[in-house]
Structure 1
Amino acid sequence: MPRSLHRLSLLFAVGLAACSTAPDTEETLPAPAIGSALYRVTFEATWSAGTHANFPAGAHFSNVIGASHRADALLFRSGQPASLGIKNMAERGNNTALRAEINALQSSGAAFRLLEAPYFNSPGSVSDTIRLDAAHPRLSLVTMIAPSPDWFVALEDENLLDATGQWATQRHLPARAYDAGTDSGPTFTAPDQPTLPAGVVTPLRLAPAQGPAPDGPPLGTWHLERLN
């Protein structure tokens, strides 16, 4: 065999061997992008003389306010001091400072959209909509229990996006009550008694209207329904 032909045969054999031992590779496609989701939020308040003791005259809830946000952008945390915004909301139903705090979170990218719905009497309900996205899949909402020293109801850091990238279709969650730790009044209509130094946010236990249960029923239910 001519030397040149022998050399070509060797090169061809080496090429076949390399092809047979090369690992199989497949193109890795990017994961599909998770779109945003629009939810209808309804706070159905059931707080009444029939559910809780010492039900005050003129019972109502202040404007519901909150935001869609990242995990590191909580409006409050149980066991931690209340911000000025949470204090003013819980004591006065005034959302000016809390709205500014949410706006600051939006400017930093930690929060996405703000929700603010009108005040209403209890029992009763109010609804509004809010959009979430993959970077801000959590929802937190608060509203003052009125009248009260510094008590409020909250939806705390609810994650609506699961590990598989699916948005929840709907959820129904108890409206839990909290004490902001900024006023020491013991009853719904107690005069102002500022807590000095201020304490921390803690779960609030309101006595049921009847029975010896140590923890009364929730003051209502948060209904979350995905619209698109």
Structure 2
Amino acid sequence: MNRLFALSCSLIVSTLALSGCGGNDSGSSSNDPQGQGEVQYKLTFTTLWNAEDFPQGFPSNPHFSPLVGATHNEQTVIWRPLDQPSTTGIEQVAETGGTSLFRAELQERKTQGYVQNILLAGGGVGSPGETVLRFRASEQFPLLSIISMIAPSPDWFVGLRDVNLREGGEWLESATFNLALYDAGTDLGVAFTSADSDGGDGIIRLLSSDVSDTDFNNGVHRSSGLYVATMQLQREE
């Protein structure tokens, strides 16, 4: 759906020079109370979506919703294209930028022992722009999955899924990920400013559209191959 939400801060970086606030959900607690085998990471979310590089149907007020996700184990899948339909929580994030339903789903998985830390940034970020989110991960919960809506849009989003921060028994030191654009499959809109049009099969796919609607094919610019955003991970301790 094409609903815009009020941004609680214009950009969210830890210094507040460009933006607002972010971090682990204050209501979350660790399943590893002694902190054994834990490390801290800095996630830098850089938004690259702009009118010059993506002119077709480019809207006014381009932004991304608050980052929301979790550190988790291999026993759960937070989101996965084609393999797992959008949950009501993912639908809410992808259509409105709201996070309450998704956080409730993550809290349920935390209660079940699949999620350790629920991650939430306190506001949206303009585009182009940048935000920083710090979080902790443990050996028992080494996977990271996180998403953000591109807005305005019908139900389109970017994110990371099942990133293993401890591949082969060693903590990841740093990595940069190019973020393709996904369609949550819960709204039939075809352009960034399409009116709400509930429907679809709920299957998450890379966004491909008609050339008259957007510049995207398979989640990237159809001719230049440019991405709308990146995420960089850096181990801090």
Question: Cα offset for 1:213?
Answer: 3.8
Match of 2:105 in 1: 101
Three-state SS of the structure 2 residue aligned to 1:90 is helix
Match of 1:36 in 2: 38
- Aligned with residue 217 of structure 1, among 202, 217, 226: 226
Question: Cα offset for 1:215?
Answer: 7.0
Three-state SS of the structure 2 residue aligned to 1:67 is strand
Question: Cα offset for 1:35?
Answer: 1.4
The Cα offsets for residues 171-193 of structure 1, whole Å up to 9 and x where unpaired, read as: 10011211000001000000011
Match of 1:182 in 2: 186
The Cα offsets for residues 23-78 of structure 1, whole Å up to 9 and x where unpaired, read as: xxxxxxxxxxx711110111001111122132210010011101111123222110
Task: Tell me how far apart the structure 1 counterparts of residues 222 and 107 of structure 2 sit (CA, whole Å).
Answer: 41
Three-state SS of the structure 2 residue aligned to 1:157 is strand
- Of 68-77 and 55-64, deviating more is 68-77
Q: Give yes or no for the alignment of 1:57 onto 2:65.
A: no
CA contact (8 A) 1:70 1:111 kept: yes
Q: Which runs of 5+ in 1 are unaligned?
A: 1-33
- Show the 5 A alignment for 1:128-207: 128-163=133-168, 165-196=169-200, 198-205=201-208, 207=215
Match of 1:47 in 2: 49
Residue 110 of structure 1 aligns with an amino acid whose one-letter code is Y
Match of 1:77 in 2: 80
Q: Give yes or no for the alignment of 1:88 onto 2:92.
A: yes
Q: Which runs of 5+ in 2 are unaligned?
A: 1-35, 209-213
Equivalent pairs counted in the alignment come to 190
Question: Cα offset for 1:128?
Answer: 1.2
Task: Tell me how far apart the structure 2 counterparts of residues 132 and 103 of structure 1 sit (CA, whole Å).
Answer: 16
Larger Rg: 1
- TM norm structure 2: 0.76
Question: Cα offset for 1:216?
Answer: 3.7
**Shift in CA distance, 215/159, structure 1 to aligned 2, threshold 3 Å:** farther
Question: Cα offset for 1:96?
Answer: 0.5
**Shift in CA distance, 160/168, structure 1 to aligned 2, threshold 3 Å:** same
CA contact (8 A) 1:139 1:156 kept: yes
| Greater helix fraction, Structure 1 or Structure 2 | 1
Three-state SS of the structure 1 residue aligned to 2:181 is strand
Question: Cα offset for 1:195?
Answer: 1.1
Residue 145 of structure 1 aligns with an amino acid whose one-letter code is I
CA contact (8 A) 1:169 1:225 kept: yes
Between the aligned residues of both structures, percent identity stands at: 35
- TM norm structure 1: 0.79
Task: Tell me how far apart the structure 2 counterparts of residues 75 and 52 of structure 1 sit (CA, whole Å).
Answer: 29
Match of 1:13 in 2: none
The Cα offsets for residues 153-203 of structure 1, whole Å up to 9 and x where unpaired, read as: 11111111121x11011110011211000001000000011115x331111
The Cα offsets for residues 103-131 of structure 1, whole Å up to 9 and x where unpaired, read as: 11111110111111121111101111111
- Aligned with residue 227 of structure 1, among 189, 213, 236: 236
